[in-house]
Every structure is written in structure tokens, then in C-alpha cells.
Homo-oligomer: A and B are copies of this chain.
Amino acid sequence: MEGIGPPLATPFTEDGDLDEGSLRELVGWVEARGVDFLVPCGSNSEAELMSVEERARVVELVVEEASVPVLAGTGHPGLRETKRQTQLAADAGADGALVVTPFYFPHDEGALETYYREVADDAEIPVYLYSVPPYTNVTLSSDAAGRLADHSNVAGMKDSSGNLEAFGRTRRLAGDEFDFFVGAGSVAAHALDAGADGGILGLANVAPEACAEIYERHREGDTEGARELNASLVELNRAVTSVHGVPGLKAAMRARGAPAGYARAPHRPVDDETREELETLVAEL
């Protein structure tokens, strides 16, 4: 896999039910705007707020609608549940499994490595590591990623730390065959400069065309143009991630006419002021 993959938002109805029709539409909406693959059940999907069955159903629906590869988020705090969710994703036809570092209980790095090896041994589809310290308070080190890259079924990683030093080290330690994706939209072009194979960007739910254009410019050698475009998106990216979270992301998607639906509790809808701020940012696209 390479290029831009949105960690697809999951449309819920105002009552919090999975809105299957909107999800199918959303797949078409982002694909029509130029993304290279799809990532259902990542953090932006609110996977941690869904049941195991709902997560499997979301992957199934996305696979059915998609004409590009599908990388499904399947990580849980425990090994058993991760294996089970990964199997369900494989059964649904996903092309790979994105496995977040186990959270809630603290584990040392040896335990994390053992965990990933067991997930990868068991999985019928390639496994991608996923480090997202803002949510888990866990950082998978570049050294650990480099060692795990030797496993034949560990195919790559999404790093959402935004730490370019770590990014460069992982790129070097994990080798060229490792599919390495940046998960921090504000520094995506820098990460491509550092050797990323693409980006899995929450922002690509709101501005798939612009994210695809960053990647395309970089691929064609216009690294400065890629950075310039990325720089123009930083305030929007912050607003739909670190500042206003998933409710902000969904409000911005609605402002663009995307079938985003509502966020699940404990998330709460953005207030009117935030909505207007997001509409202004989206209007600048």
C-alpha cells in the first residue's frame, strides 16, 4: 500500500446507530476525490466506541463498496480480542490489519513486541503497527519497529506521533520493504520527505483532494509544492484533530457536504462557534 488513505469516519445517526447507507456513500465520496486506499476502524472511526460486531460490519461494508485496498483497524487492549477482530476483518476481505499498541494496562517494550509477533503469526492478512501516543500514552519506539519489521507478516506502520526524528529513524531501521505511513496531517509532506510511503490522515476525510495532491506533488518531485500545500492546511488539520477531535472532524465533513453523520457519546456535538470556525476553514479549501 502507498499514497493517501483516510482513516474513515463512521457515520452514526443522531441516535447513535450505525448509518450503513451513509457509510456506503462516504466510501464513494472519498474515492471520487482521489484517495488510494481506505482505513475503516481507525481512531477517527470511533472504533473504540463500537462493538466487535459493529467493527466487523463496518469493515464488511467498506470492502463491499471499495474499489481500492482496505486496511482495517483491528486492535484491542487484549491479544485475544485483537486476534478475533483481525480474523473478522480478514473474513470480510480486508487487505491488511492496522493494530494499535495495546492500551489501558502499561506494558514494557518486550511485551509489546511479543504481542505484535503473536498477532502477526496468527493473522491471515498482513499486519501494520500503529503508534498513536495522544490516545494511548504509548510510544512504539523506532528500535522496536525496526525489529518487528523482520517478521514476514509485519508489513508496515502508521506513526501518529508527529515526531520527525522518530520517523526518520524508523524509516531507516525498518528498511525499504516496510510500508511506512504518517498519521499526523500537519507534517505529512515533511514525512514524505523523510521517506514515508504515504499518509493515513484524518484530514483526508475532509479534504481528500488536497491530501492526494500533497502526495502527488511529492511523487512528481515537487517537494516544495507539497510542503506549501500542506502548510496551508495546518489550521484546518489542527481543528479536526487535536483541537476539536472527532466531533470537529465530522462537523467539517458536513460543511463539505460529506455524509459524515454524528459522533457517538461520550463525544458531544461541537457548539455553534466551533461549527462556524470549521465552516470558515473548510470554505478556504
Which A positions have Cβ atoms within 8 angstroms of B?
Answer: 16, 43, 46, 48-52, 76-81, 84, 102-107, 110-112, 114-115, 118, 134-137, 162-165, 168-169, 172, 184, 186-187, 190, 193-194, 223-224, 227, 231, 234, 238, 245-246, 264-268
CB A175 to nearest CB in B, in angstroms, measures: 14
Interchain CA distance A16-B122 in the complex, whole Å: 15
Query: Looking at the complex, which one of B51, B115, B187, B223 makes contact with A224 (CB distance below 8 Å)?
Result: B223
* B contact residues around A118 at 8 Å (CB): 265
Q: A52-B51, A104-B48, A193-B190 are in contact. Are A114 and B162 (CB under 8 A)?
A: no
* Contacts A106-B245, A165-B187, A265-B114 given; does A80 touch B16 at CB 8 Å: yes
Q: Are B165 and A114 in contact (CB under 8 A)?
A: no
Chain B residues near A111 (CB, 8 Å)? 266-268
Which residues on B sit within 8 Å (CB–CB) of A102? Answer: 266
Asked, given contacts A102-B266, A137-B137, whether A186 binds B162 with beta carbons under 8 Å apart, the answer is: no
Residues of B within 8 A of A193 (CB): 190, 193, 223-224, 227
B186 adjacent to A264 (CB under 8 Å): no
Instruction: Give the docked Cα–Cα distance between A211 and B92 (Å).
Output: 50
- Answer whether A234 and B169 are a contact pair too, CB < 8 Å, given A81-B49, A105-B245: yes
Docked complex Cα distance between A43 and B115 (Å):
20
| Other-chain residue from B164, B169, B264 in contact with A79 (beta carbon distance below 8 A) | B264
Q: Which of B52, B115, B172 contacts A266 (CB 8 A)?
A: B115
Could you pull out 18 A-B pairs where Cβ atoms are within 8 angstroms?
A: A43-B105, A48-B78, A49-B81, A50-B80, A51-B81, A78-B265, A79-B266, A80-B264, A102-B266, A106-B245, A164-B186, A168-B187, A190-B190, A193-B193, A193-B224, A194-B227, A223-B223, A223-B224
